[in-house]
Amino acid sequence: KNEVEQSPQNLTAQEGEFITINCSYSVGISALHWLQQHPGGGIVSLFMLSSGKKKHGRLIATINIQEKHSSLHITASHPRDSAVYICAVRFNAGGTSYGKLTFGQGTILTVHP
């Protein structure tokens, strides 16, 4: 069964703290996405990874294909980082996958000033 597990489910931090959110998946993938969902519901794509590491501002995403694991890091966290962070993967399914994503349950991050 193709599954995506995120941890922790809830995360509370003080402004300035370094934050890590983890994502594990069950079988081989062709791509992994990190998404950010704000309270209004809108979703923004932060990163797409198929290997290695990507950095954008204070956000860093890494993936270990062999271990089937990815992490999203936020350095110097700020209250505006408060949101739900979602890991989504595209499992290897040959030519029929059509880019379908399987989503983790999300991590609710709250950063206090």
Distance CA 38, CA 40 (A): 5
Provide φ and ψ at 31, rounded to 5°: -165, 150
Query: Residue 90, interface with other proteins (CB under 8 A)?
Result: yes
Query: Residue 100, interface with other proteins (CB under 8 A)?
Result: yes
32 vs 111, beta carbon nearer other proteins: 32
Candidates 2, 22, 31, 73; binder of other proteins (CB under 8 A) is 31
Which residue, among 71, 75, 62, has the nearest Cα to 5 in the 3D structure? 71
Residue list 70-89, contact with other proteins (CB under 8 A): 86, 88
Candidates 57, 94, 99, 113; binder of other proteins (CB under 8 A) is 99
Stretch that binds other proteins, among 19-27, 61-69, 74-82, 94-102 (CB under 8 A): 94-102
Q: Coil, helix or strand for 110?
A: strand
Which residue, among 67, 28, 63, has the nearest Cα to 49 in the 3D structure? 63
The backbone region for 94, taken as left when phi is positive above 0, alpha when psi lies in -120 to 50, beta otherwise, is: left
Residue list 42-61, contact with other proteins (CB under 8 A): 42-45, 48, 50
Question: Contact positions toward other proteins, by CB under 8 A?
Answer: 30-31, 33, 35, 41-45, 48, 50, 86, 88, 90, 98-106
